[in-house]
A and B are shown apart, each in its own frame.
Chain A
Amino acid sequence: MLYRTAGQFKTSYEADFALFPVKQDSILLAAVLVLAFVVFPLTANEFAFRALLIPVLIYALAALGLNILTGYAGQLSLGTGAFMGVGAYACYKLITIFPEMNLLVAIALSGFFSAAVGVAFGLPSLRIKGFYLAIATLAAQFFLVWLFEKWAWLYNYNASGAIQVPNIDMFGFTVAGPRAPAITQYYFVLIVVSIVTFFAINVTRGRIGRIWKSVRDMDIAAELVGINLMKAKLSAFFVSSYVVGVAGALFVFAWRGAAEPNLFDIPLSFRVLFIAIIGGLGSILGNFLGAILIVALPVVLGFLPDVFGVPISSSAVEHLNVMIIGALIVTFLIVEPHGLARFWAVIREKLIIWPFPH
């Protein structure tokens, strides 16, 4: 009923290849964008910006980067946190060396540093696969965090070994640093995330995306039909690490404001990996759904006892939260092993053929 596709005729190849061939999809997307660009900024308070909206967007972007590598190209990586760190430290160095630089430019450039590091650590993927590759990326994780600690130049010889974001102005708005209003930071993150997502959708459904998918599904077959495996795998590492690096720079500059090296340690990698897996490997939408589940839900759950007037200490809430989220993850994976994106796809299919069961 709501999703009736009958009567939507395609009269050109272009229309058939459109990003959203079904009209309702674009209406839905438009609604989400209006929500994100207009409704949230008008209604959200500072807490909602800083604890819900901004982190969800940034984590979704990091998961998107990982998803390109793991979900589309089939190369398992456990080094996402460290690659985010490379982006963050690169952005910090760029901003402190060239204080005049536009933050958007600095963030875009810092992605290249993490892309280069990603390609370097992606080289073993040409020889090894699966779990063995995961171990190689794990080495990157440990090595890079160690480097963030030991290489004092990276944090400008700060005595506490942490990096701190100065106040940065862009077109008359303070977009980063302690004086930046939450709403400006939200718009900044939202715009960057929207742009990267737009490109990611188009890359993954185009020629390059198909090459990655063929490598993921069977690399020998892909090689036999003439795909250059080296190029395919390294390009996946490059694009993925670029997006992850951008996410890392946003993570520190548009949200945290300060970072110490162990922030980028393995728990961050796992968190992003969970978002990608629970959201759905090999999908773009899944990253956002996964981030909502993993990042925003705990915050919202933390409020429930207060709302219902259940008196409970905040440490008990924390313990309960961990249990509830854990149970939800297990439940979701049992109900739909391919993640939340697939869950949505199934719902959508059912809506299209509704009221007929098949």
Chain B
Amino acid sequence: MKTLLKNALMAGALAAGTAFAAQAAMAQDSIYLPNLSYRTGPFASTGIPLMNGQRDYMMMLNERDGGVNGVKLGYDECETGYNTEKGVECYEKTKADAAITQPWSTGITLQVLPKTNVDKIPVLAPGYGFSPMADGKTFQWAFNPPASYWDGASMILKAISDGNLDNLEGKKIALLHLDHPYGKEPIPLFEAMAEKHGFTFLPIPVGLKEMQNQSAQWLQIRRERPDFVLMWGWGAMNAGAITEAAKTRYPMDQFIGIWWSSLDSDLKLVGEEGKGYRAISWNVPNSDSPVMQDIKKYVVDPGKSLINQGEGEFDWVFYQRGVMISMMLVEGIKAAQEEFDAKVPTPEQVRWGLENLNIDEAKLEELGMTGMLVPFKTSCADHTGHGGGWMLEWNGSKFEKVSDLITPDREAIAPLEAEKAKEYAEANAPWPVNDECKM
């Protein structure tokens, strides 16, 4: 309680500081980058480190370089509490000046996505949202770099089959997922793969009300004895599943999560017992990298960050993932500035920038992020980049990278994406398609 109070006070004081800074920045050239954050509500535990990471990277750039090419980054949060109703309110509130929108919840993404063609604001949904958004010709305004959920599903299957999906024949794979648009997202791909490669696919939904108490689901897992349990969990569900797995002594090396199921504090609850739990991720934390050291120097050490240092949030996968997300956005803005010779690019120019991201090894090194993010490249036809990911394994106290780069099986996914994108466009007719894109 005491720490909570202290944190709240600190947050208040710091927020006061940033708001003044933001107001001062408005006077100069600045670009408005709203973020529909969720530091409150049932998913706050996962939201806070992500938001902190995003915020701190932008603050660091403002402090160190004075923004990008002389333009301050006007990062601003609008609190949604992961609530769709608040999300729409925030979207409407921020859209007039916004160069980008980050909806965060799949529910909010679903509402905002069809409006983007009308409002002409790019949607940045890194590693979440609707997998067919990869089809840039159909979803002109939506971006989900560097990998979609279907990519993630494909990568996990590759990892557990040693690279050849036919090894899975006759095996049983369970998907423990949140019974929500987000958790249902990978099911079509798993079903298609199960049919093709002859394994049994068993979806086990966890309702929003059962997140903390998953005894029924784990009873089913014990009865069915699947060879692998994959998890599409979020917020309190991850902690619930991991503690339940530890309690029922489910072999952790057969339990693999998607990137949103790799929150350090969830695993800390079980500590040593969680050893061997793996999660696929497109970022790897590295607190000694130049970029993290700069954040430490310019933001954390002067006390301008909101992170919980006692918990070691600075080293978390999620915090540093937030940093990566802001980097993608800033690189998009930079690309737009250079292409259009504009100081403050318009939303349409930012869209071009995000469409022409080229985050290769050289770029990562230049930014001081070597090995922290999968290299990827977007185009007008490909809004995801499909960079791939690495397996992270919990070693009892933190996540470690345990695999080489795993890339998704694009040949199997692309037709499914094209089909679903077409379905979406038809259901939402009249839906404009980017015909200028010749790729």
Contacts and interface: CB of A to CB of B under 8 A. Distances in A.
A113 B68 CA distance: 56
Contacts of A317: 79
Interface string A159-187: 11110101100000000011100000000
B118 A166 contact: no
- Main SS of chain B's interface residues? helix
B133 to A, nearest CB: 12
Interface string B74-115: 001111010011001100110000000000001100110011
Interface in A269-323: 299, 309, 311-319
B146 to A, nearest CB: 21
Nearest to B21: A311
B39 interface: yes
Contact of B39 (A164, A178, A263, A315): A315
Interface string A10-41: 00000000000000000000000000000000
Interface string B401-439: 000000000000000000010000001111000000000
B23 interface: yes
Interface stretch (B182-190, B254-262, B341-349, B371-379): B182-190
Interface stretch (A76-84, A254-262, A346-354): A254-262
Contacts of A167: 428-430
Nearest to B84: A263
A166 B420 CA distance: 16
A178 B432 CA distance: 12
A51 B89 contact: yes
A254 to B, nearest CB: 13
A198 B89 CA distance: 29
A217 interface: no
A161 B76 CA distance: 31
Interface string B37-73: 1011000000000000000000000000000000000
B22 to A, nearest CB: 8
B181 A315 contact: no
Interface stretch (B9-17, B242-250, B381-389): B9-17
B212 to A, nearest CB: 16
Contacts of A315: 11, 37, 39-40, 77, 79
Nearest to B187: A159
Contact of A257 (B78, B93, B111, B207): B111
Contacts of A164: 110, 114, 427-428
Given A257-B114, A315-B79, A319-B40, A46 B92 contact: yes
Contacts of A299: 89
B196 interface: no
Contacts of A50: 88-89, 92
Contacts of B225: none
Contacts of B110: 160, 162, 164, 258, 260
B115 A178 contact: yes
Nearest to A55: B85
A47 interface: yes
A100 interface: no
Contacts of B85: 55, 256
B130 interface: yes
B175 to A, nearest CB: 14
**Contact size range, A:** 20 to 34
B346 to A, nearest CB: 19
Interface in A47-84: 47, 50-51, 55
A223 interface: no
Given A262-B208, A312-B12, A318-B40, A177 B114 contact: yes
Contacts of B88: 50-51, 256
Q: Give the interface residue-count category, chain B.
A: 35 or more
Contacts of B93: 47, 51
Given A166-B427, A178-B115, A178-B428, A159 B20 contact: no
Contact of B208 (A162, A166, A265): A265
B179 interface: yes
Contact of B181 (A160, A178, A313): A160
Nearest to B20: A311
A309 B187 CA distance: 48
A178 B142 CA distance: 15
Contacts of B19: 311-313
B78 A314 contact: yes
Contacts of B106: 160
A166 B429 CA distance: 7
Given A167-B428, A177-B114, A319-B40, A313 B12 contact: yes
B297 interface: no
Contacts of B40: 315, 318-319
Nearest to A266: B209
Interface string B189-228: 0000000000000000101100000000000000000000
B420 A262 contact: no
Given A51-B93, A257-B111, A263-B84, A311 B180 contact: no
Q: Which of B23, B40, B110, B427 is most buried by chain A, counting CB atoms within 10 A of its CB?
A: B110
B287 interface: no
Nearest to A181: B118
Nearest to B116: A178
30 contacts: A51-B89, A51-B93, A159-B184, A159-B187, A160-B110, A161-B180, A161-B184, A164-B428, A177-B428, A256-B85, A257-B111, A257-B115, A258-B110, A258-B114, A260-B84, A260-B107, A263-B84, A263-B107, A311-B16, A311-B18, A311-B20, A311-B23, A312-B19, A313-B14, A313-B19, A314-B37, A314-B77, A314-B78, A316-B15, A319-B40
Given A161-B181, A179-B118, A316-B15, 18 more contacts: A50-B92, A51-B92, A149-B207, A159-B184, A160-B106, A164-B114, A167-B429, A178-B115, A179-B430, A256-B85, A258-B107, A260-B181, A263-B107, A311-B23, A312-B16, A315-B11, A316-B8, A319-B40
Interface of A: 46-47, 50-51, 55, 149, 159-162, 164, 166-167, 177-179, 256-258, 260, 262-263, 265, 299, 309, 311-319
Closest 6 CB pairs of A and B: A311-B19, A313-B15, A178-B114, A160-B181, A315-B39, A314-B79
